Amino acid sequence: MQTFTDKVAAITGAGSGMGRSLALELARRGAHLALSDIDESSVANTATACRALGVRVTAQRLDVADRDAVFAWARETATAHGKVNLVFNNAGVSLSVPVATLREDDFTWLMNINFWGVVHGTQAFLPYLMTSGEGHIVNTSSLFGIIAMPTQSAYNASKFAVRGFTEALRMELDLARAPVSCTCVHPGGVATNIVQTSRIDDSISTLTGVDAQTHRRRANKLIDVTSADAAARQILAGVERNARRVLVGADARRVDKLARLLGASYQAMVVWFYRRSAMARKPSSNERDAAARSTATK
């Protein structure tokens, strides 16, 4: 897609983070927008900011896990805007919990948003993208759709699934010589609020040695690598060159190279790192003895 001017783009998770940045960047480039988010007030704020840039914007609350609602949104978008050229299946949530204590309802909640939300958005909008004569689907996976991490089994499952789904879709579109293409996006650490809204189970301490609050605090520090605005620009550059895959951020590019170099051996490296970190957090025998003596004298 050479230009976004006068194109119509539908974006899920547009109330904050990369979704909001994508909406604003597309508006600056002259694209009209259909925005959605589970948080009605946040998507309304994004819509107001985009309208100020002179483009036509529709916005609504949407739960991407609700298949019927997503299909209705696609129909309403096509009716309101006359066409749809792009869909960004961007909405996502996170969950940190060991497999042994992973509850089925939490797993279902995450998969319904991260994976089925992508499937719903793709299937709902694909007919309209075909009709437009020039369409593009952008599905958000993750760095954790390239490598797996302890306590991230559910999140990994959803993001690996998005990757497989999108790569298969891209080949189908190529085989059909369709006027639609697609891109799978793998963000590394991007400054968004996904960690703040994530579900973190206290049982992670059995593997990581830290409680949920400490885990959240450390995760916040790790993800603040690439700004959401920079991520949006990288994603749109990928759409312009019809990239099959977009690695967002230097950290994503480094980890991708490492995974390809090491293959499955990267898993042993991750385990070594976690064990080393856990040992570093444990007090030495001298420290334990000093603490015991201090307690005894009180």
Cβ atoms of residues 218 and 189 within 8 Å = no
> pTM score, two decimals?
0.85
With respect to residue 211, please indicate whether it lies within any of the assigned structural domains. yes
Instruction: Supply 232's token pair.
Output: 């949006």
Give the CA count within 13 Å in the CB-facing half-sphere of 116: 16
Cα–Cα nearest to 142, from 169, 120, 114, 116: 114
- Residue 155 a catalytic site member: yes
Cβ atoms of residues 101 and 154 within 8 Å = no
Number of domains in the chain: 1
Residue 271's pLDDT is what? 86
With respect to residue 273, please indicate whether it lies within any of the assigned structural domains. no
Residue-wise pLDDT tens digits, 229-284: 999 999 999 999 999 999 998 889 988 998 999 999 999 988 887 777 665 454 34
With respect to residue 282, please indicate whether it lies within any of the assigned structural domains. no
User: Which pLDDT band, with edges at 50, 70 and 90, does 201 fall under?
Assistant: low
For 5-14, 117-126, 271-280, which range has the lowest pLDDT when averaged over its residues? 271-280
Q: Which domain holds residue 136?
A: 8-263
With respect to residue 268, please indicate whether it lies within any of the assigned structural domains. no
- What percentage of the chain has pLDDT greater than the value 90? 70
Residue 256's pLDDT is what? 92
- CA dist., res. 96 & res. 122, Å (int): 27
For 171-180, 185-194, 259-268, 283-292, which range has the lowest pLDDT when averaged over its residues? 283-292
- CA dist., res. 212 & res. 203, Å (int): 8
Give strand ranges (E) for 152-263. Answer: 180-187, 199-200, 245-248
User: Which pLDDT band, with edges at 50, 70 and 90, does 194 fall under?
Assistant: low
- CA dist., res. 288 & res. 75, Å (int): 65
Is the model's pLDDT at 10 over the cut of 70?
Answer: yes
With respect to residue 205, please indicate whether it lies within any of the assigned structural domains. yes
Is the model's pLDDT at 95 over the cut of 50?
Answer: yes
Report the CATH number that the domain containing residue 59 is assigned in CATH.
3.40.50.720
User: Which pLDDT band, with edges at 50, 70 and 90, does 207 fall under?
Assistant: low
Is the model's pLDDT at 290 over the cut of 50?
Answer: no
Cα–Cα nearest to 230, from 18, 1, 88, 5: 18
Q: What angle do CA 224, 142, 134 make, to 5 degrees?
A: 115
Partner residues linked to 200 by β-bridges:
96
With respect to residue 92, please indicate whether it lies within any of the assigned structural domains. yes
- CA dist., res. 272 & res. 250, Å (int): 23
With respect to residue 296, please indicate whether it lies within any of the assigned structural domains. no
User: Which pLDDT band, with edges at 50, 70 and 90, does 178 fall under?
Assistant: very high
With respect to residue 218, please indicate whether it lies within any of the assigned structural domains. yes
